[in-house]
């Protein structure tokens, strides 16, 4: 039986948070030793929808690649590449644009949100972002896409476009399915547990940066918003802050939510918060040291991405050739 293809990508838009680590990176690493053929990309083209400083932008790419390598993403076990190195992503985007309706893109929640937060730069790339994402996915005959709650709408568009293309022409694209982690799919703000953890939050205590040192991590968790009770119990509705901390502790230690609840039965929130902070620091501090080592050899990082791009190009070229032939475009390499 042929292995299923799993695709995921993340933008190099600055320092990552603990939410990125739990919701994306840690899941990527776990998937390397499963039955899936994994394809992972640094989505640098997506990042251009927001103004970028060229020098910092390039550094962010290296920083993200080094982070993944430091987290034990083994390039021998997957295809790991830079999106812009595979030109078929943008070629397929144009073709899918011809079957995408403007109203579909205007209704996208992320487009509405970013239009508000970047009102001085509402560009067509911002609106077309989901079509490029659909191209990323469909180009590799992807079966499964790890998604957080905020990306479900974009994946649904990818599914709709695949079905629309198949119905208009012939079966060309696989209809991708979401892959949602059982635990930690969405990590919330430490200061507002009703809102997703984000590095763009003005309150620096609301998120844990993957670059935070141990003292900073401990201080931020000690300030985390909880509730007026003193019972460590999972209840996402009535105890959102504690539930978020339980999720973080569970993921970082490998324990179940129930095991974590039992561990802190009879203990106050102070002890619990400190333990969560220590569990996070125990993972992040060694990761930071490995990342620094990888960043000291950018030639190695470039070579990893180049080798990954060559593998991705091979797959992407076969798909774009199939698409061109399907719609009647003369394919000439």
Q: Decide if 141 contacts 319 (C-beta within 8 A).
A: yes
186 is a catalytic site residue? no
Please list the residues that pair with 145 across neighbouring strands: 178
Residue count of the chain: 333
Between vectors from CA 230 to CA 226 and to CA 232, what angle results, nearest 5°?
Answer: 75
Closest CA to 269 of 217, 205, 224: 224
| Residue of 298, 293, 157 whose CA lies nearest to 147 | 157
Check residue 150 and report its DSSP letter: G
Q: Quick check: is 77 catalytic?
A: no
Residue pointed to by tokens 């191209």: 135
Q: Which residues contact 180 (CB under 8 A, 6 or more apart)?
A: 146, 147
d(CA 320, CA 333): 11
State the catalytic residue, choosing from 77, 186, 199, 255. Answer: 199
Closest of 27, 132, 40, 129 to residue 82, by C-alpha? 40
Catalytic site residue 196?
yes
Question: Catalytic amino acids?
Answer: 114, 196, 199
């Amino acid at each position: 039986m042929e292995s299923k293809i799993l695709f995921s990508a993340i933008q190099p838009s600055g320092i990552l948070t603990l939410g990125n680590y739990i919701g994306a990176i840690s899941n990527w690493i776990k998937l390397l030793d499963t039955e899936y053929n994994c394809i992972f990309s640094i989505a640098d083209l997506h990042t251009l929808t927001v103004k970028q400083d060229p020098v910092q932008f390039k550094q962010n790419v290296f920083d993200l690649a080094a982070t993944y390598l430091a987290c034990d993403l083994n390039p021998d076990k997957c295809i790991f590449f830079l999106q812009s190195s595979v030109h078929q992503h943008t070629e397929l985007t144009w073709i899918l644009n011809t079957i995408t309706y403007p109203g579909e893109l205007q209704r996208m929640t992320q487009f509405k949100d970013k239009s508000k937060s970047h009102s001085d730069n509402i560009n067509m790339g911002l609106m077309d972002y989901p079509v490029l994402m659909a191209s990323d996915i469909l180009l590799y005959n992807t079966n499964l896409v790890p998604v957080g709650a905020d990306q479900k709408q974009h994946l649904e568009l990818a599914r709709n476009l695949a079905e629309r293309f198949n119905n208009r022409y012939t079966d060309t694209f696989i209809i991708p399915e979401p892959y949602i982690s059982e635990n930690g799919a969405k990590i919330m703000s430490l200061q507002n547990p009703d809102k997703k953890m984000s590095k763009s939050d003005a309150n620096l205590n609301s998120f844990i940066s993957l670059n935070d040192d141990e003292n900073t991590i401990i201080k931020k968790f000690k300030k985390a918003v909880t509730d007026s009770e003193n019972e460590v119990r999972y209840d996402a509705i009535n105890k959102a802050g504690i539930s978020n901390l339980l999720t973080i502790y569970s993921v970082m230690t490998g324990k179940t939510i129930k095991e974590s609840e039992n561990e802190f039965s009879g203990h106050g929130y102070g002890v619990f918060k400190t333990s969560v902070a220590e569990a996070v620091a125990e993972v992040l501090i060694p990761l930071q040291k490995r990342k620094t080592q990888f960043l000291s050899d950018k030639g190695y990082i470039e070579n990893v991405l180049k080798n990954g791009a060559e593998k991705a190009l091979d797959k992407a070229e076969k798909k774009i050739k199939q698409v061109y032939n399907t719609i009647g475009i003369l394919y000439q390499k």
